[in-house]
Amino acid sequence: MKPFIYNGLPSRAIFGQGTLSRIAEEVRELGCHRAVVLATPEQAGQAREVLAKLGELGAGVFAEARMHTPVEVTDAAMRHIEEFDADCTVAIGGGSTIGLGKAIALRTGLPQVAIPTTYAGSEMTPILGETRDGLKTTQRTLKVLPEVVIYDVDLTLGLPVGMSGTSGINAIAHAVEALYAKDRNPVVSLMAEEGIAALARSLPAIAKNPSDQDARSDALYGAWLCGACLGSVGMSLHHKLCHTLGGSFDLPHAETHTIVLPHAVAYNTEAAPEAMARIARALGSSDAAGGLYDLARAVGAPLALADIGMQESDIDRATEIATSNPYWNPREIEADGIHRLLCDAFAGRRPTSREVLDA
C-alpha cells in the first residue's frame, strides 16, 4: 500500500425516505431558532412546505437562487437574512440553491442544512463557485460546508427524467476526476467507483420508469458518494472547462458537465490508465470515454454544446480562458488539444482517446 492522506469532512448525512420530517429536529440540534429557507423560483412551493414543517423555527423564505451563484443574488439574499434576523439557512433544491446557502455561510458563518432534490452533489463539498462580471471563480473552505444534509428519496421521485440524467452524470464527473486527482487516495477511490456504478445502473432505469423507487434510492446514494469525492480531493480539467463554459457563457450547469465529461476523459485517457480502467469497470464498458457518452445517450441527455446554447465562435474564447491559469491535470494542458476537445464537444461527436490525442 502506497502512503496516502485522507481528510474526513465534518458533516452529518441523513439518508432514507420521509427524512424531511426531521427538519425541525435537525435545526434545533444545531442550536438555531430562526431558519430562512432558500430555493429557486421554480421550487418556491417546496420552500414554503419546508417552512411549514419548521413551524416556530422558520423565519421566512428567499426563493430567488440562480444558476452559477451570481454575487448580485447573494447580495439580495443577505438583505433578507438581516431582515429576518436569521441564525441558519435551509437550502432545498439543487446546486444553485445549495450554492447560495454556501455563499451566505461564507459571508456570515451561519450554519446550513442542505436538502438536495437533484444528484449534483454540491451539498457534500467545501467548495463554492461564484460568478461576478461574467467570470466564475471557485474557492475551497470548510466555512461553506453544510453542517447537515438530509437526503430524502421521496423528494427525487418527481425529478424530471431529463434533469435526473444530467444531474446524475454531473455527479459522476466528480467521481471520475477523483480517480485521477493529484491527491487521490484508496478511500476516496473506493467511493468514486461505487458512486459511478450506482449511478450507471440507476439512471437508465429512471429514464425507463421515473417512479422506480429502488433506482431513485440508488441514484441518490451514488450522488452522495460522488459529492463526497468532490469534497475530499482536488479536481482537474473537466471541472475547469465546465466552470469556464458556465460562468463565462451562461450554459446550464448539469448539461454542460454531461456533454464535456466524455471528452475530458478522452483527453486524459493515456495519462491515467488505472483511473480509466476503474471508470470503465464501473460503467460496464470497455472504454471509459465512450461508456460515458453512451450513458448520456441512453438517458436522453444532450450530447452537443451547440444544443444548449453555445456558439461556435465561443470556442476560441473558451479555450483562452480555460488555459489562462495553470492547474494540475494528469495530462499537460495544451491549447490545441483543448480547442479540439471543445470542438468535439460542440459538435457532439462520440469521443475516443486516440481521436483526441492524434488530432
Residue 186 placed within a domain: yes
223 shares its domain with 126? no
136 shares its domain with 207? no
The H-assigned helical ranges of the chain are 23-29, 44-54, 71-84, 95-108, 161-179, 186-208, 213-232, 237-249, 253-268, 273-283, 288-298, 314-322, 335-347, 353-357
Burial degree of 76 (CB within 10 A; 0-12, 13-18, 19+): middle
Count of domains forming the chain: 2
| Beta partners for residue 36, in sequence order | 60, 89
321 shares its domain with 266? yes
Range(s) of the domain holding residue 18:
12-156
331 shares its domain with 188? yes
62 shares its domain with 204? no
**Whose CA is closest to 28, among 116, 147, 197?**
147
- pTM (2 decimals)? 0.90
Give per-residue pLDDT as tens, 42-56: 999 999 999 999 999
Cell numbers placing 283: 460503467
Give residue for cell 430562526.
34
**Whose CA is closest to 119, among 257, 244, 10?**
257
Among residues 108, 125, 156, the one where a domain terminates is: 156
Among residues 156, 188, 218, the one where a domain terminates is: 156
Mean pLDDT of all residues in the chain?
A: 94
352 shares its domain with 208? yes
314 shares its domain with 228? yes
- The pLDDT assigned to 120 comes to 85
DSSP per position, 154-216: GGGTTS-HHHHHHHHHHHHHHHHHHHT-TT--HHHHHHHHHHHHHHHHHHHHHHH-TT-HHHH
User: Domain of 230: which CATH number?
Assistant: 1.20.1090.10
293 shares its domain with 196? yes
Residue 74 placed within a domain: yes
pLDDT at 356 over 70: no
Residue 4 placed within a domain: no
C-alpha R_g of the chain: 19
Residue 236 placed within a domain: yes
318 shares its domain with 332? yes
125 shares its domain with 38? yes
140 shares its domain with 183? no
135 shares its domain with 184? no
Residue 5 placed within a domain: no
Give per-residue pLDDT as tens, 19-43: 999 999 999 999 999 999 999 999 9
User: Domain of 48: which CATH number?
Assistant: 3.40.50.1970
Give per-residue pLDDT as tens, 277-310: 999 999 999 999 999 999 999 999 999 999 999 9
